[in-house]
Structure 1
Amino acid sequence: MPRSNVPTTSAAGALTDAAAALAVAGPLHVFAYGSLMWDPGFTVAATAVARLAGYHRALCILSIRNRGTPECPGLVVGLKAGGSCVGQVLRVADDGAEAALAHLQERELSTNAYLPHHLAVRLADGRRVKALAFVARPDHPQFMSGLSVAEQAALVAQGVGPYGSSLDYLRHVCSALDDRGLPDGPLHRVLAAAEALAVSSPRNRAPTVPSP
Structure 2
Amino acid sequence: MVFWVFGYGSLVWNPGFEYDDKMIGYIKNYRRVFDLACIDHRGTPEHPARTCTLEYKEGATCWGAVFCVRGDEEKERLAMAYLENRECEYDQKTTVDFFKDGAIDEPTLSGVIVFTSTPDKESNKYYLGPAPLEDMANQIATAFGPCGNNRDYVFSLEKAMFDIGHEDDLVIELANEVRKVLGITGLGIPKENSSSNRLTGPPLKPKSPMSPHKLLRLPEAISMDT
After TM superposition, the score normalised by the length of structure 1 is 0.76
- The alignment-based identity, stated in percent, is 25
The Cα offsets for residues 98-118 of structure 1, whole Å up to 9 and x where unpaired, read as 111000111102x4x452112
- Count of residues paired in the alignment: 173
Alpha-carbon separation, structure 1, partners of 2:101 and 2:175: 28
* Match in the other structure for 2:79: 100
* Match in the other structure for 2:7: 32
Superposed, 1:10-159 pairs within 5 Å as 27-82=2-57, 83-95=60-72, 96-109=75-88, 111=89, 113-124=90-101, 126=103, 127-129=107-109, 130-139=111-120, 140-159=124-143
* Match in the other structure for 2:155: 171
Whether the 8 Å CA contact 2:34–2:130 is kept in 1: the answer is no
* Match in the other structure for 2:168: 184
Shift of 1:84: 2.3
Moved over 3 A (4+): none
Alpha-carbon separation, structure 2, partners of 1:94 and 1:171: 34
Deviates more, 1:37-46 or 1:124-133: 124-133
Alpha-carbon separation, structure 2, partners of 1:125 and 1:153: 33
Structure 1 residue runs of 5 or longer lacking an equivalent are 1-25, 201-212
Shift of 1:186: 1.0
Whether the 8 Å CA contact 1:49–1:123 is kept in 2: the answer is yes
After TM superposition, the score normalised by the length of structure 2 is 0.71
Deviates more, 1:133-142 or 1:97-106: 133-142
Alpha-carbon separation, structure 1, partners of 2:62 and 2:102: 16
User: Secondary structure at 1:153's aligned position in 2?
Assistant: helix
Structure 2 residue runs of 5 or longer lacking an equivalent are 185-226
CA RMSD, Structure 1 to Structure 2 (Å):
1.7
Q: Which of the pair is proportionally richer in helix? A: 1
The Cα offsets for residues 21-59 of structure 1, whole Å up to 9 and x where unpaired, read as xxxxx5210101000011111112111112111211111
The Cα offsets for residues 169-189 of structure 1, whole Å up to 9 and x where unpaired, read as 111111100000011111111
Alpha-carbon separation, structure 2, partners of 1:115 and 1:182: 27
Whether the 8 Å CA contact 1:80–1:136 is kept in 2: the answer is no
